[in-house]
Amino acid sequence: MIITNVQSLEILDSRGNPTVRTLITLEDNSVHSSSVPSGASTGSHEAVELRDEDNTRYMGKGVLTAVENVNTTIKDAIVGMEADPNTIDSKLLQLDGTENKANLGANAILSVSQAVVRAAAHTENVPLWKFMFEYYFKDQSPNTNHHSPSFPQLLVNIVNGGKHASWNFDIQEFMVVPNIKTPSESVRIAAEIFHSLGKVLKARKLSTLVGDEGGFSPQLNSNEEVLDAIIEAAKNAGYENVKDFRLSLDVASTEFFKDGKYELKKQNKWLSPEELTTYYTNIGQKYNILSFEDAFAEDDWEAWTNFTDMAEKFKFITIGDDLLVTNPERIRRAIDEKAANAVLVKVNQIGTIKETVEAINMAHSAGWKTAISHRSGETEDSFIADLAYACGSEFIKTGSMSRSERLAKYNRLLEIENGL
C-alpha cells in the first residue's frame, strides 16, 4: 500500500529522556507507529543519535531536530511511495548520505524504518514476525541454517551494575538464561529466580531497588558474590545452575578501559588483557558461564581474538556489542579475525532494519550466534521480540523481570506463542 502521511513526535523513554516516535499512515487510513530506544554505555562506532544540544530543554537531550527531519525531508521523500521496507530503507540511506547517519540522525531514520516494516506487515495482513520471516529471512535459510522462526533463549539481566547502576559492580549485567526456549516456561523460570533473589537480598538487609534495566542493584562486595547470590536464589526457587539455567555476563568493558588496561574498581586493580582473560576463564569455569559480552573494549581487537580462541576451548560464547555495533563491516572483520563468535544486535546502533537484517544474516551464515537486544533506555515498543522470533535468533536480551518497557518484549513473545 501507498504511504499517505508521516508524522513524528518527541516522546520520553524509560529514563525520562526524549526519543523519537513516528507514525506512518497508509492509503487505507491505517496508522503504524514505532519508537526508538537509546543506550547509556554506547560504543563510539554506533550510528549517530541526533540530539538537539539545546541546554534550555531536557539538558540538551531534546530530539526536535530529528523529529523535524522526519516531518520534512523524510516525509516529503516517501509520501506517495509503496511501503516496501527495503526500498524505503535505501531511500533513507540515500537521503542521509553519510556513513554514520549524522545528517538526519539514526533515531529519525530508525523510527521510520521500523514503522514501515509494521505497515508492510499490515498490508500483507500477517503478524509482524511472519512478515519479517518471509520478507527477510526465508530465502537466506540455505546459507544461514535457520529454516523457520523459533523462540530465542532469554538473557535476563537480574542484577544491574556498571553505568546502569552507579557502578555498584564493574560488570554491567548479570544474567540468568533459562535452558528452555518456550516463552511461557522461560519467562516463568526467570521471574521466579528474580523474585527469589529479591527475598535473598531482603533477608540480608540489602537493597531491592532496581537499576535502569529492572535488575536489582544491591551493595554486594564482588562480582563473585553476585553470582553466588543468584545461584542461592535460584536454588530456593527450585532451579539448578547448568541443569535448568545458565549464567551470562555483559562486562561492558569499554567503559573501564584506559591506555591498554582495564580498571576493576571494586578490586582496586588495573588488569592487562592477559590478566583479564585469566580472570574470565577462572570465573567462567567456576560458575559455568555461558557467554561473555564485551569482555574487551571496542577497539581491542587483538584481545578479542585471543580470548575467543581461549573461549572456544571452554565453550564460552563471546558476544560483540560495542566491538561490532551491528555494523556489517565490523562483523565481517570480526568473522575474518575470529574476534568473537556471536553478535549483539541493536537496531539503533545501525539505524535501519535492512542493515540490521544484513548483520544477522551475515552472522548466521558464518555459523555465529545472534542476540537481539534492547537498549538501557527503552520504550513500550516490542519490535525486537518479533525480530528475534522471525530470524530464529539464539538469544534475546531485553532486561529483567520488572518494568513494563522490559516486559513489553517478553509479553510479546508470550503473544507469539499463543498464535498472535
Q: Which residues are catalytic?
A: 213, 346
Task: Give DSSP secondary structure letters for 294-358.
Answer: S-S-TT-HHHHHHHHHHHHHHT-EEEESTTTTT-HHHHHHHHHTT--SEEEE-HHHH--HHHHHH
Beta-bridged to residue 160, according to DSSP, are 173
Residues 162-221 that bind ligand 2PG (CB under 6 A): 173, 213
Nearest to 155 by CA among 407, 414, 371, 311: 371
* Minimum gap (Å) between residue 295 Cβ and ligand 2PG: 12
Which one among 49, 52, 96, 321 touches ligand 2PG, defined by CB under 6 A? 321
- Which residues, 6 or more positions from 274, have their beta carbon under 8 angstroms from its beta carbon? 306
* Residue 192 touches Mg ion, criterion: CB under 5 A: no
Task: Give per-residue burial for 373-411: e unless 16+ CB within 10 Å, then b.
Answer: bbbbbbbebbbbbbbbbbbbbbbbbbbbbbbebbbbbbe
Instruction: Spell out, one character per residue from 240 to 259, where the chain touches Mg ion: x when CB under 5 A holds, - when not.
Output: ----------x---------
E strands, 239-288, where?
Answer: 245-250, 257-258, 261-264, 269-271
Should residue 300 be labelled a site residue for Mg ion when binding is judged by CB under 5 A?
no
Report the residue from 1, 23, 31, 40 that binds ligand 2PG according to the rule CB under 6 A.
40
3-state secondary structure of 156: strand
Mask for 248-287, x = binds ligand 2PG (CB under 6 A): --x-x-----------------------------------
Q: Which of 327, 373, 382, 393 binds ligand 2PG (CB under 6 A)?
A: 373
Contact partner, 373, from ligand 2PG, Mg ion, none, Cβ < 5-8 Å per class: ligand 2PG
321 part of the interface to Mg ion, by CB under 5 A: yes
- Chain position carrying cell 576451548: 313
Q: Between 121 and 344, whose beta carbon lies closer to Mg ion?
A: 344
Q: Does 370 bind ligand 2PG (CB under 6 A)?
A: no
**Least distance CB 58 / Mg ion (angstroms):** 25
- Return the number of the residue (88 or 345) whose C-beta is nearest ligand 2PG: 345
The span from the first CA to the last CA of the chain, in angstroms, equals: 23
Q: Which of 19, 25, 35, 42 binds ligand 2PG (CB under 6 A)?
A: 42
Q: For residues 107 and 349, what is the distance between their CA atoms, to the nearest angstrom?
A: 9
Instruction: Provide the binding-site residues for ligand 2PG, judged by CB under 6 A.
Output: 39-42, 173, 213, 250, 252, 321, 344, 373-376
